[in-house]
Amino acid sequence: MKRLAILAVGLLFVGGLYACGDGETKPSEEVIIPNTDHGGPTNDPGGTDETPRPDIDEPDNDPGTPDQDPGTGGDTDTTPDVPDNDPGSTDDGGGVPGCVDDPVGSCKAVFECINDCPEGAAGEACRTQCEGNLSFDGREDYQAFISCLSTNCSNSTSNEQFSQCLEDFCVEQYYGCFWGCEYGECYDLVGCLSGCAKLSNEEAANECRGDCWGGATAEAQIDLSNAIKCTQQACPICAKQNATPQEEQQCDDCWEEAASTTCESEWDKCVRYGEGNCRTLWICVQNCGGNDRECVQACGAAASKEAIDLYGKVWDCILKDDHCPSTMPDDQWQTCANAALKEGGVCDEDFTNCIGEQVYGDGNCGDLWNCINNVNCDAQCANDCREAATKEANGLFDDIMDCIFEVCEGKTGNELNTCANAAINGEGACVDKVEACFGPATYGDKTCGETLQCMNGCGTNESCQRTCVNNATETGYGLLRDLSQCLNTACPSTMEDSAWRTCMQQAQAQGGTCYTDLQNCLNDTSAE
């Protein structure tokens, strides 16, 4: 039965061994490391990023340079620069039921009106008219803000002093004036700001951030401001100007740590958790592939806080300095991480706490191999295959994988496939592991050409194709293996369908890369 391994080699690593966009195979500091079993390949899909990073900026609280007591008359020198309240394409909140953002009589609307008035005495009548538009609630907000500025910030002599004073004494009144109804909770505001981070134009990104803050309720703004300030106080390194890459990394590490410890209660108000468990999260991320960051974000959004915490513990365990630090060479890290997650590995307990105890069935190792290597088998499918097999079968399967990774260390892509094929066939280093899984090889009475014709008649029915291969002679199987290896190398499965089909035709045509192997198969007479 070991002959089936060669046909599956192109799919051998489905659900695993994905790489980052930069070519790395180990994750960065915010990556979730998925794995569907206690020893299968890990991958690097990017992170859930469930807590906002330091690039979520607070709004510009600099209202300008006051040169006289703001009083209650709306001195334009002390009015904050109000961003446009139209959130544009970053509308994630959908509006807050029951919230009314008065476009004329609100505190914010009056400041916008005053900002359009001319300076000096000529604009006094204009400013008075703007103030006359205040609604009852708007006037309360307006007077609270102006009174706070007058009491605490009238002696400020520079923009910096005024901004600091506003932040120290009047930020609640500030948010109580400049609010909106688009984003009712902190996590809605965070969602809007996260959209701004995707904009490549910095000016547009800053305008987007201003729109987000201006479109959020005062409660949402205060909650996010408190979370950010708490984390900034815990991480003074983040305030350093012109930080080096190392210092930026220190800031990121500190921010992540503070968001889940010192400032956890503040950030909990700004994260929307789902109901999914850690096992569901693990499999979901595995299905996202190597570079689909938005998919990973969606997996994290559907998970509960407990699930994310358990998931993070697995990650923290793997990356310990004495386990598998990210500074290890990529291929060594991959092997180390797999070993750490295995039953009995250093991170087995944390991993089991995440995915639960392994469930076993009564399937044998050969069935498990064929199940996982099905062309349509994703991470959920692979997990189901694992659970349908016995514990012994899972162990035998892992032995094959471990052997392949050891023999083919450092290889990727087609080079890895070629190495894996060589390892599990003929006199390869992993043949004994394959025989332990499938049992000794058995052969039939069909030539390579007859087997190939039989397989072509199966279409995409893999069970049918396996039956054809099982009936091949030992020589016929060897010739078929040579042809398959050649085609896999010449036309990798990562190619687009149309390009792959063209490549296959060209490779088998006269003069093509695999023409000789095809002729050797078709001219096989081993059954005679």
Please say whether the beta carbons of 78 and 64 come within 8 A: yes
**Domain ranges in the chain?**
4-43+277-442, 76-268, 443-528
Among 3, 8, 39, which Cα is nearest to 397's?
A: 39
Look up residue 310 and give its two tokens: 């358990």
pLDDT of residue 415: 81
pLDDT of residue 438: 86
What pTM, to 2 d.p., does this model score?
A: 0.55
pLDDT of residue 375: 64
**Dist. CA 179–CA 100, nearest whole Å:** 10
Among 352, 351, 253, 267, which Cα is nearest to 305's?
A: 267
Residues 98-130 pLDDT 10s: 788 888 999 989 998 998 899 877 788 898 999
Q: How many residues does the chain have?
A: 528
**Dist. CA 389–CA 407, nearest whole Å:** 26
Degrees, nearest 5: CA angle 146-151-156: 90
- Examine the pLDDT at 346 and tell me if it is beyond 90: yes
**Is residue 189 helix, strand or coil?**
helix
Please say whether the beta carbons of 85 and 214 come within 8 A: yes
**Dist. CA 118–CA 403, nearest whole Å:** 79
Residues 409-461 pLDDT 10s: 878 777 887 888 888 887 889 989 998 998 877 789 999 999 989 988 888 78
Query: For tokens 């039965």, what's the residue?
Result: 1
pLDDT of residue 198: 82
- Examine the pLDDT at 28 and tell me if it is beyond 60: no
In 302-407, which ranges are E strands? Answer: none
| Residues in a beta bridge with 389 | 363
Q: How confident is the model at residue 291 (pLDDT cuts 50, 70, 90)?
A: low
Please say whether the beta carbons of 366 and 379 come within 8 A: no
Residues 230-241 pLDDT 10s: 999 999 999 888
Residues 188-206 pLDDT 10s: 998 899 888 888 888 999 9
